[in-house]
Amino acid sequence: MRLTRFTDYALRTLLFTAAHGERQVTIAEIQTAFQLSKGHLMKVVQLLAAEGYLKATRGRSGGIRLGMAPEKINLGALVRLTEPDFRLVECFGDNGTCFISAFCQLPGPLNAALDAFLATLDKHTLADMMFAKHGFQRTEKTTFPLRGPNLSAAQTKARHGTIGEP
């Protein structure tokens, strides 16, 4: 499973905004910090504001800030809001054309995996993911290695390096 850019941008926007506390931040600041598409980011902010995750102020001195406490922003609910489709395979849709779908056992494990994925996200809030605003400063090379299911942090570092390392 892969999350859409929309969800990725929503998570980044909320993390960036939360790191700045009560100070309003601008879309331009978020765009610069992450080098994101302004048009796409504006759509993300619009949805997050409409759903109460952000408070937006228009105008010359406008900006955005969190619309609720980070402890109230559940990651599972956010992903459900921002992801358009959880059909992991073609046969999960209404117009599936797979000729073995009547006999296939794959939907059971795939649905269980999706349920486990969302249940894990349901256990976490934005507050669990927050870090200080200085964490958004760019380095020459910024990478965020993902830890695989069977890799420790040390193994991940050995395989991928750390932020800022060549």
Q: At residue 101, what is the residue type?
A: S
| pLDDT at site 133 | 60
| pLDDT at site 132 | 61
- Beta-strand pair 54-57/63-66: antiparallel
**85/92 Cα distance (integer angstroms):** 10
Q: Running DSSP on this structure, what letter comes out for residue 55?
A: E
Closest of 47, 63, 76, 71 to residue 130, by C-alpha:
71
In angstroms, the Cα distances linking 147 to 3, 43, 74, 135 are 16, 30, 22, 19
| pLDDT at site 120 | 97
| pLDDT at site 99 | 78
**129/69 Cα distance (integer angstroms):** 13
Q: Running DSSP on this structure, what letter comes out for residue 121?
A: H
On whether both 16 and 93 belong to a single domain, the answer is yes
On whether both 53 and 104 belong to a single domain, the answer is yes
On whether both 71 and 148 belong to a single domain, the answer is no
Task: Give 89 or 4, the one with higher predicted confidence.
Answer: 4
For the stretch 140-151, pLDDT in tens is 444 444 445 555
Q: Which domain holds residue 160?
A: 139-166
On whether both 41 and 72 belong to a single domain, the answer is yes
Domain count, the chain: 2
For the stretch 23-35, pLDDT in tens is 999 999 999 999 9
pLDDT above 60 for 18: yes
Closest of 121, 99, 101 to residue 1, by C-alpha:
121
Burial status of residue 142 (CB atoms within 10 A of its CB: 0-12, 13-18, 19 or more): exposed
On whether both 123 and 144 belong to a single domain, the answer is no
Task: Give 163 or 57, the one with higher predicted confidence.
Answer: 57
For the stretch 93-115, pLDDT in tens is 777 777 787 788 888 899 899 99
For the stretch 37-92, pLDDT in tens is 999 999 999 999 999 999 999 988 899 999 999 999 999 999 999 998 888 877 77
On whether both 77 and 110 belong to a single domain, the answer is yes
Count of beta carbons in the 10 Å neighbourhood of residue 14? 24
For the stretch 124-139, pLDDT in tens is 999 999 876 666 555 4
On whether both 112 and 152 belong to a single domain, the answer is no
On whether both 20 and 41 belong to a single domain, the answer is yes
